[in-house]
Structure 1
Amino acid sequence: MRKKFVIVLSFIMMMFAYGADKNIKGEDYKIQKITINNAREIPEATILSKMVSKKGNKFTTEKMIKDYKTLKELDYISDVKIYPKYYNEGVKLVVDIKEKENVKDILRKKGIVPISDRDNINKSIVIKEINFYGNYETPSKKLAKLLPLEIGGYYSNNKLKEGYRKLVESGYFRQITPDIEEVNGGIIIDFYFTENPIVKKVNIIGNTIYKTEEIKELIETKAKTILNYNILRQDREAIIKKYSQDGYVLARVQDMSLNKKSELDIFLKEGLVQDVKFQKMVTKQKGQRREAKDTILKTKDYLIEREIEIEKGKVFNINEYNRTSENLMRLGFIKSVKYEVRDVPNSIDSKEIILLVEEDRTARIQGAISYGSELGLMGTLSLEENNWKGKGQRASLSYEKSDENYSSFSISFSDPWIKDTDRISWGWSIYKNDYENDDSEAFNEIDTYGISANVGKGLTKNVRINLGTKFEMVETNPSKAYGTSPDGSTVEYYSDKYNLYSIYPSISYDTRNSYFNPTKGEFYKWQVEVGYASGEEASYFTNTTLEARKYHRGFTKNNTFAYRAVFGIQSDDTKESQRYWVGGSSTLRGFDGGEFRGTRKFTVNLENRTQFNDVLGGVLFVDAGRAWDYKGIDQGYQRDAQMPDKIAFTAGVGLRINTPMGPLRFDFGWPIGDDEASGMQFYFNMGQSF
């Protein structure tokens, strides 16, 4: 009686010394954790097996006092202290023990293997039994397969640790306690489990993109199965993977937890777009202070707003952002686009999308002196603005003059999308060309003054119809009065001065990612021209042209394949000076301009383009095609043929240089298999060839 009184008194004094946690004001708490301190030789499982307080059970002071009494009376414990702590909305029971000095001998006599002895066990110890306790929902056979230990085999401490780790990683248990007992020259290994609860129901909360049943099909955790945290992590990844694959990259699994009804609640945040804003991309330089105006774009807001495909009030989708970025970069004056995501204050799932827009140089003044095989020494001066006053309008003025009696002047303006219209465009151009062709006897000099205008309508983002018209005053002069045909007859040449009027409707389909330097996409255009030309042999004329282009990635991310094919047919009444010319920098590089003429034409161009860095690029190209069915009086042209005979081929290399004034193009082309051709031709121009 006196001993019991001393034990109770000691317990009360211990409670006053350590003090129960002030957060524990009642006994409606579960034991969330039991911590054993200072157990150097006594296995933790041995101590826990003596206690009536268990993890997951309701905490009571009576049970704690009973555990204190039980542990205090054990032969191998000299002193013990037990006290509760508030932990994870429950109680953590702390057990501090003091082992007796001869604890190892006492444990051995009782058949308990001391902790320090477990590392020293050798192959002479055979495993007699492996037992599992507390695994009510998980079959023992399934757990046994996780252990690298077998009944009848030798004991290994390392294998026991490995097996313990695999059992923990299985995810089915909140707590696992192994224990070893010596029996008849062998050992018995016991595992004590506290299983995770059974999931009674799975609730998906916050989903709008996918139906609840669709998400449940993605996950392995089902109702009426034991909760497994490893599988739960896989379920989280499966849900995020599904959202990401479909472009919903802001979607997150906010929480996965059991509610009071043992139902698994999966809370989703999908990333709802509340607002889309845009500003200038600013790179702060060292020593510079950022000002409010630094984020203001030159481009007017309405130009950017009408290209944005990210929808407010809907879940953010990266595909909509990518299309928005492509739309903006196709304008020709936007260099790059990035985005930032900001949380909206006082909102559960709303996001604010900030588009960071980097504008390219739009105003260019170009001046150059170059030499080309076709036009000789030539000087070029041009002024260009691709985003006039931030409205996306294009204006240009250019002048070229060569020592080969060629000159050209033009001034043009266009608005690709008139403000407050449904993709309506318009533009005009005034031009003058003077050209002397030494290879032509009948049309040695051709002078043209012209004006053109067009209006267009975008039917969709990629499909556009256009109607153009032009008026030209043309004067042609021969190099001599008469020519001699191959049969020896005389052909009389004449000067001609005529006016040309025409209209040319067209339809196009364009998915290129850039109008000026595309790396992917397609372009198709069909145009028909109908007109009248006065002067000598005045008549009406028609022609039609079909053009196709394609671009795709090549061998590396900086390598692009580009293809173009052009086919055209003219009526036989077309003025001879207006017939197709094939050859030169834009059709067959390796032949002079107008090397082939006719009322039919077909050309194919293939280029492999490599961008070495921001400044330099290289090109390998192959060109093929020609013009046929000339049927004219010009005896200076003796290369006529019937379609599709005598197709010409060329190949070459090129250099591209990006300068502050604009991109420069240098091409070197050679004819292939043509003995009449003069050899390598050099061309200088601006921008890509197509």
Structure 2
Amino acid sequence: MTRTPSRRLLALALASSLSLPALAQSVEPFTVQDIRIDGLQRIAAGTVFTYLPVERGQTLDQATAGDTIRALYRTGFFEDVRLDRQGDILVVTVVERPAINKLTVTGNKDIKTEDLLKGLRDIGLAEGETFDRLSLDRVTQELTRQYNNRGKYNVQITPTVSRLDRNRVDVTIDIKEGKAAKIRHVNLIGVDNFDVEEILDTWESRESNWMSWYRRDDQYSKEKLSGDMEKLNSWYLDRGYVDFSIDSTQVSISPDKRDMYLTASVTEGEVYTISEVRVTGDTILPQETVERMVFIKPGDTFSRARLEAIAELITNSLTNIGYAFARVNPIPTPNRADRTVAINMQVVPGPRVSVRRIVFKGNTRTSDEVLRREMRQFENAWYSQAAIDRSKIRLQRLGYFETVEVETPEVPGAGDQVDVVFNVKETTSGSFVFGLGYSQLAGMTASVQLSQSNFLGRGNRVAVEAQRSDYLQRYAFSYVNPFFTDEGVSLGYNLWWRELDYSDFNTAQYNSTNAAAQVVLGLPITEHSSVSLLFGIDSNQIQTYRGYTPQSIIDYVDAVGQRTFHAWRTELGWARDTRNDFFMPTRGMYQRVGLETSLPGSTVEYYKFNYEISKYWPLSPSFVLRTGLDIGYGDSYGDDVTRHICYTPPTSDNPNPGVSDPCTPDSPDFRKTVTASGLPFFENFYAGGTRSVRGFRDNTLGPRSEVIAGYRGQPLGGSLKTVGQIELVFPRLFDSRAARVSAFVDFGNVYNGIDDFDAGQLRASAGVALLWRAPVGPISISYAFPIRKEPGDEIERLQFTFGGGF
């Protein structure tokens, strides 16, 4: 039998007035010789005895009986409690509340299930707990309120309780969220001096518009409206309207609960100007130094935002020299007679604070030493907010952590000391991959890769790779110690061998087999800048095919006189990185300049210059603009290499004749002069594809060879590369830091030297892209429309890579 809430409440309210009088009328007060508990199923009798206010040997009277009943009800274990007497035995008969066997929540989308279950658990509604109908009713009311705050007034919360054997129940909470009510109109009454639309542009609550599907700004929320009222107040106070007031706000809803109408009535008042600005209190810094930070002057229009900015500027200056609890209170004194305001900037520095300890939490794999060497705040030093903020950014840029949070709790009993606690959440910093990937350029890729950017938790980067695809075989090993010395000097080694078939690479048809050994040294020169020096030796064996390989490449190889190119290579680089995050930056800039040269004594002597820059502009929490530019140029130095060679005429038996060298006067062969100059063909830059100008097939932009064997010319690349991007990133489109969507415009091309550059030959495309760091490997997908192209360009709108870096 199920008791109704009203019956249970009646039982609770009248337990002592009904049960006890019935007992008192049937028996006189008596001395309890024994106590028996009837009706228990799950709860132990010993548990009940601990709550009883009466014991053996005590006299039970009406007052004691009432206390006993109330005590047992307060436990929350029982639906009903009754006291009876059998001789000198007190009989306590109880009806236990059922236990929750299973708790299920269905239909919820706006509120995550784990968040809902945690909230239910906090009020005692969880699997294994005692079921209380009143708690379930409170949950229903609270969920309805939360959904109403999200603008969903059609929400239906239906709890269902199913009785099971052994005094158990299954509880199901079915949620039908419905659709959020949309804001159809916002009306500001009393606004005379400003454009209403200009004011509403700053609000989170907006009328339905073409971007509402993404920003969801047309969904009503009580919290959002409260914030918008504060923005409205700030709008006027920042423009001198000291007497501004919001007289009333009204929210109305349509009968079908689908449309909302917001109305606010305001009084603007008059504009006030600054009459006087003073700095008082203990400034710590020289008075004139602090006064120079006050950038408002008498006669300026009053602005609360500017006062807050000045207060923050002074506060930051003090927190950076140890005054962690410094405050600056702007105290305005208005004079309504002449519409002026006198400002007193009151400085309250508080005690000077030092940092006792720096503590790291959550780094289960990464050693404290790796985190500690990124610190710019030190223990037993004066507190510095700038140093703590910089330390946090350096930890974020390591790439080892998904999140980094900072706390600065006070040291108990010491008002002038704090601890700095960094709470980190580690992410995957290494992988062992044995699998397949695919891209339109490389085709199927089989690879085995062991990489660890935080090797053994010491911050060293190690990678071993074996890869095979339609055009590439590659085996590589690399190792980098980013803190080879305590000063931050890094040391790394690279070893690799690869065999590359360029005929499947959308470039000129030849094969290349090369190997290299390199040493890389890095040196930080400022907080954001570093220089690097690479030195290595490599060998590159070229195989050409007469009749298929472009003649310019064959002539270059013939002019050098050998097919294996040896090089002593060095590269000097400078980089500056102010980005705020490793994976998903939203602000900052990255720049790199590199100069690579083959040293004298190499088979061919050349240099390559490369400059790349990316800047992130935070437009709003929902939009980040990224601009990027990549410029490369290369050329040879020293004298050109010229040879006179003779080709054996081709025959039907030998369509690919060899080279006769030297030529003899009576040779039947034909004579030719060939020259090797400029940047070697195997070092050319390429453009087009997923990593440069999307929408065009990989590596197909720029110069091409002559028509060979009846086919169109093959891409040759060029010694000058110009590639740029303008990209609008939507960082909040997915509730994940592993994925991002962007809309982009790419442009670029490659040319045969600076003299060949023609801005009119730049190609451009526009489209959208998805980048996702999936557990199985990074995935890049883009769809682009070429907006500037030429006849003969190879178009490829949908492009993607799976299992490669991006």
Partner of 1:629: 752
Return the match for 1:577 from 679, 682, 693: 682
Structure 1 pair 676/273, CA: closer, same or farther in 2 (3 Å)? same
Partner of 1:331: 398
Partner of 1:347: 414
Structure 1 pair 661/418, CA: closer, same or farther in 2 (3 Å)? farther
Match of 2:569, SS state, is strand
Structure 1 pair 476/554, CA: closer, same or farther in 2 (3 Å)? farther
Partner of 1:603: 723
Structure 1 pair 492/215, CA: closer, same or farther in 2 (3 Å)? closer
Partner of 1:405: 471
Structure 1 pair 330/218, CA: closer, same or farther in 2 (3 Å)? closer
Structure 1 pair 445/322, CA: closer, same or farther in 2 (3 Å)? same
8 Å Cα contact 2:777/2:802 also seen in 1: no
Match of 1:528, SS state, is strand
8 Å Cα contact 1:441/1:483 also seen in 2: no
8 Å Cα contact 2:689/2:697 also seen in 1: yes
* 1:497 counterpart = 2:564: yes
For residue 511 of structure 1, report the CA deviation from its aligned partner: 1.4
Match of 1:269, SS state, is coil
Structure 1 pair 500/266, CA: closer, same or farther in 2 (3 Å)? closer
User: What residue identity is the alignment partner of 2:741?
Assistant: G
Return the match for 2:510 from 444, 456, 466: 444
* 1:613 counterpart = 2:735: yes
Match of 1:598, SS state, is coil
Q: Distance in 2 between matches of 1:216 and 1:603?
A: 48
User: What residue identity is the alignment partner of 2:791?
Assistant: D
Q: Distance in 2 between matches of 1:269 and 1:498?
A: 69
Partner of 1:679: 795
Return the match for 2:436 from 369, 375, 393: 369
User: What residue identity is the alignment partner of 1:407?
Assistant: Q
Structure 1 pair 446/591, CA: closer, same or farther in 2 (3 Å)? farther
User: What residue identity is the alignment partner of 2:768?
Assistant: V
Write the deviation string for residues 370-414 of structure 1: whole angstroms up to 9, x where unpaired.
432222233344322111122211111233322x33233322111
8 Å Cα contact 1:570/1:579 also seen in 2: no
For residue 560 of structure 1, report the CA deviation from its aligned partner: 4.6
Write the deviation string for residues 206-248 of structure 1: whole angstroms up to 9, x where unpaired.
x5744589999999xxxxxxxxxxxxxxxxx999867645473
User: What residue identity is the alignment partner of 1:278?
Assistant: V
8 Å Cα contact 1:482/1:493 also seen in 2: no
8 Å Cα contact 2:438/2:803 also seen in 1: no
Match of 2:360, SS state, is strand
Write the deviation string for residues 490-513 of structure 1: whole angstroms up to 9, x where unpaired.
979768222222111122222122
8 Å Cα contact 1:276/1:310 also seen in 2: no
Q: Distance in 2 between matches of 1:524 and 1:371?
A: 31
8 Å Cα contact 1:398/1:409 also seen in 2: yes
Match of 1:349, SS state, is strand
8 Å Cα contact 1:240/1:251 also seen in 2: no
Q: Distance in 2 between matches of 1:533 and 1:321?
A: 48
Return the match for 2:494 from 415, 429, 432: 429
* 1:667 counterpart = 2:776: no
Write the deviation string for residues 585-619 of structure 1: whole angstroms up to 9, x where unpaired.
32222333432311222111232222322143212
* 1:274 counterpart = 2:355: yes
Q: Distance in 2 between matches of 1:298 and 1:459?
A: 29
Write the deviation string for residues 330-379 of structure 1: whole angstroms up to 9, x where unpaired.
12213332233333344343222222233322122345534322222333
8 Å Cα contact 2:284/2:349 also seen in 1: no
Write the deviation string for residues 613-633 of structure 1: whole angstroms up to 9, x where unpaired.
2143212222222221179xx
8 Å Cα contact 2:510/2:549 also seen in 1: no
User: What residue identity is the alignment partner of 2:691?
Assistant: S
Q: Which runs of 5+ in 2 are unaligned?
A: 1-278, 295-307, 329-345, 637-676, 703-716
Q: Distance in 1 between matches of 2:483 and 2:465?
A: 24
Write the deviation string for residues 61-107 of structure 1: whole angstroms up to 9, x where unpaired.
xxxxxxxxxxxxxxxxxxxxxxxxxxxxxxxxxxxxxxxxxxxxxxx
* 1:308 counterpart = 2:375: yes
Match of 1:309, SS state, is coil
Partner of 1:455: 521
Map of 1:235-254 to 2, 5 A cutoff? Answer: 244=315, 246=317, 248=319, 250-251=324-325
Q: Distance in 1 between matches of 2:728 and 2:605?
A: 41
Aligned residues, how many? 432
Structure 1 pair 669/570, CA: closer, same or farther in 2 (3 Å)? farther
Match of 1:574, SS state, is coil
User: What residue identity is the alignment partner of 1:616?
Assistant: A
Q: Which runs of 5+ in 1 are unaligned?
A: 1-201, 220-236, 255-264, 282-295, 632-639
Q: Distance in 2 between matches of 1:504 and 1:340?
A: 42
For residue 548 of structure 1, report the CA deviation from its aligned partner: 1.8
Q: Distance in 2 between matches of 1:466 and 1:342?
A: 39
For residue 427 of structure 1, report the CA deviation from its aligned partner: 0.7
* 1:658 counterpart = 2:723: no
Structure 1 pair 688/608, CA: closer, same or farther in 2 (3 Å)? farther
User: What residue identity is the alignment partner of 2:782?
Assistant: D
8 Å Cα contact 1:408/1:432 also seen in 2: yes
Partner of 2:707: none
Q: Distance in 1 between matches of 2:287 and 2:540?
A: 73
Map of 1:508-527 to 2, 5 A cutoff? Answer: 508-527=575-594
For residue 558 of structure 1, report the CA deviation from its aligned partner: 5.9
Match of 2:396, SS state, is helix
Return the match for 1:553 from 612, 618, 643: 618
Structure 1 pair 213/460, CA: closer, same or farther in 2 (3 Å)? closer
Map of 1:141-156 to 2, 5 A cutoff? Answer: none
Structure 1 pair 463/541, CA: closer, same or farther in 2 (3 Å)? same
8 Å Cα contact 1:272/1:313 also seen in 2: no
Structure 1 pair 247/665, CA: closer, same or farther in 2 (3 Å)? farther
Return the match for 1:540 from 605, 609, 612: 605
User: What residue identity is the alignment partner of 1:610?
Assistant: F
- Mean alpha-carbon deviation: is it higher for 356-365 or for 525-534? 525-534
Q: Distance in 2 between matches of 1:322 and 1:521?
A: 14
Structure 1 pair 244/406, CA: closer, same or farther in 2 (3 Å)? same
* 1:586 counterpart = 2:653: no
Q: Distance in 1 between matches of 2:610 and 2:347?
A: 60
Structure 2 length normalisation: TM-score?
0.47
Q: Distance in 2 between matches of 1:360 and 1:687?
A: 19
Write the deviation string for residues 31-73 of structure 1: whole angstroms up to 9, x where unpaired.
xxxxxxxxxxxxxxxxxxxxxxxxxxxxxxxxxxxxxxxxxxx
8 Å Cα contact 1:344/1:350 also seen in 2: yes
For residue 459 of structure 1, report the CA deviation from its aligned partner: 1.0
Partner of 1:648: 763
Match of 1:302, SS state, is helix
Q: Distance in 2 between matches of 1:533 and 1:440?
A: 32
RMSD: 4.1
Structure 1 pair 533/217, CA: closer, same or farther in 2 (3 Å)? closer
8 Å Cα contact 2:776/2:803 also seen in 1: no
